[in-house]
Amino acid sequence: MPADGQAGPDKHAFLVALGERVRSLRARRGMTRKALSLSAHVSERHLANLEYGEGNASILVLLQVAGALQCSLAEMMGDVTTSNPEWLLIRQLLGERSEADLRPVRLAIAQMLGRSGPGSVSPRIALVGLRGAGKSTLGQMLAEDLACPFVELSREIEKLAGCSVSEIQALYGQNAYRRYERRALEDAIEAHPQAVIATPGGLVSDLAAFNDMLTHCTTVWLQAEPEDHMKRVIAQGDMRPMAASKEAMDDLRGILAGRAAFYSKAQLRINTSAQPLPETFELLRQQVRQLLQLSV
């Protein structure tokens, strides 16, 4: 493979695109290649080949068969969005649309299903972003200012599981952790008509939970520069996502890149690296109050 990891002229475009999607999914879930290797019981070498478009002749055979059948690979593999004619017709209508075109479609569908309305604002504030963005510190300050409860979702997950987040992941795996995370969010939404909720950075990996949050909360993306994320996490004495990684900063940048498109669905965006904490809080306070139409 080329030293820079770029596709060579002999690589199949489908395999290159597949590898890019695998890397993006891995980054969104905050997993190193080694962690994915252990979880999937697949060698790191095989994963590296997959991510860089090397080998994988078997999937090209499936692609050829799908082409001969004049259907998508997803349809042949039984993806849920190909399970009946209505799904297929919807896929055909939306398949070539841009993300900007798809957003009002998603909001309209949510409204039709009774889940939310376009531009809906809730007094339940959810702070999203990677760990180290300032969700806990700013969340507590905002909750005090708004005179409402502050909910640290990670702590609620630990209460449900009866052990720490790291123990949940080590003992039961990512899937179990996501189930606890989704239940903790559902409980927080049900228990608190008004609150400030600091969400785990990886919540965007669970689309069902992320949809619930977008439906029932006013969302704020707290951004920070990668270097600030790293410094703040080190100051907290917590290096879980970067454990055993020799390329911690590259991993962090990859995670940010993989999740940014989802974080950007938030209604508000605050860069916590752009100014000191007091000014950052005042900016957050003003924007949230303006959105909620509360007096400053």
Q: What is the DSSP string of 225-291?
A: -HHHHHHHHHHTT--GGGTT-S-HHHHHHHHHHHHHHHHTTSSEEEETTSS-HHHHHHHHHHHHHHH
In order along its 296 residues, the chain shows pLDDT tens digits of 343 344 455 788 888 888 888 888 888 888 888 888 888 888 888 888 888 888 777 887 778 777 776 777 887 777 888 888 898 899 899 988 998 999 889 888 888 887 765 456 889 999 999 988 999 999 999 999 999 999 999 999 999 999 998 899 888 888 899 999 999 999 999 999 999 999 999 999 888 899 999 989 999 999 998 888 888 887 776 655 445 455 778 888 888 888 998 999 999 999 999 899 999 999 999 999 999 885 44
| Residue 166 to residue 152: CA distance in whole angstroms | 16
Secondary structure of residue 117 in the 3-state scheme: coil
For residue 229, the model assigns a pLDDT of 84
Q: Where are the alpha helices (DSSP H) in the chain?
A: 13-28, 33-40, 44-51, 57-69, 73-77, 85-94, 99-112, 135-146, 153-161, 165-172, 174-191, 207-216, 226-235, 248-263, 277-292
In a domain, 188, yes or no: yes
Tokens of 295: 């007096």
In a domain, 108, yes or no: no
In a domain, 215, yes or no: yes
In a domain, 151, yes or no: yes
Q: Which residues of 263-290 are buried (b: 16+ CB within 10 A; e: fewer)?
A: bebbbbebebbeeeeeebbebbbeebee
For residue 8, the model assigns a pLDDT of 52
Straight-line distance from the first to the last Cα atom of the chain, in angstroms, rounded to the nearest whole number? 58
Task: CATH number of the domain at 194, please.
Answer: 3.40.50.300
In a domain, 272, yes or no: yes
In a domain, 16, yes or no: no
Based on the number of CB atoms within 10 Å of its own CB, is 113 exposed (0-12), middle (13-18) or buried (19 or more)?
exposed
In a domain, 67, yes or no: no
Q: Residue 218: name the closest of 186, 242, 245, 195 by CA.
A: 195
* Residue 126, beta-bridge partner list: 197, 219
Say how many domains are in the chain: 1
In a domain, 8, yes or no: no
* Residue 125, beta-bridge partner list: 196, 218
For residue 3, the model assigns a pLDDT of 37
Q: Which domain holds residue 170?
A: 124-292
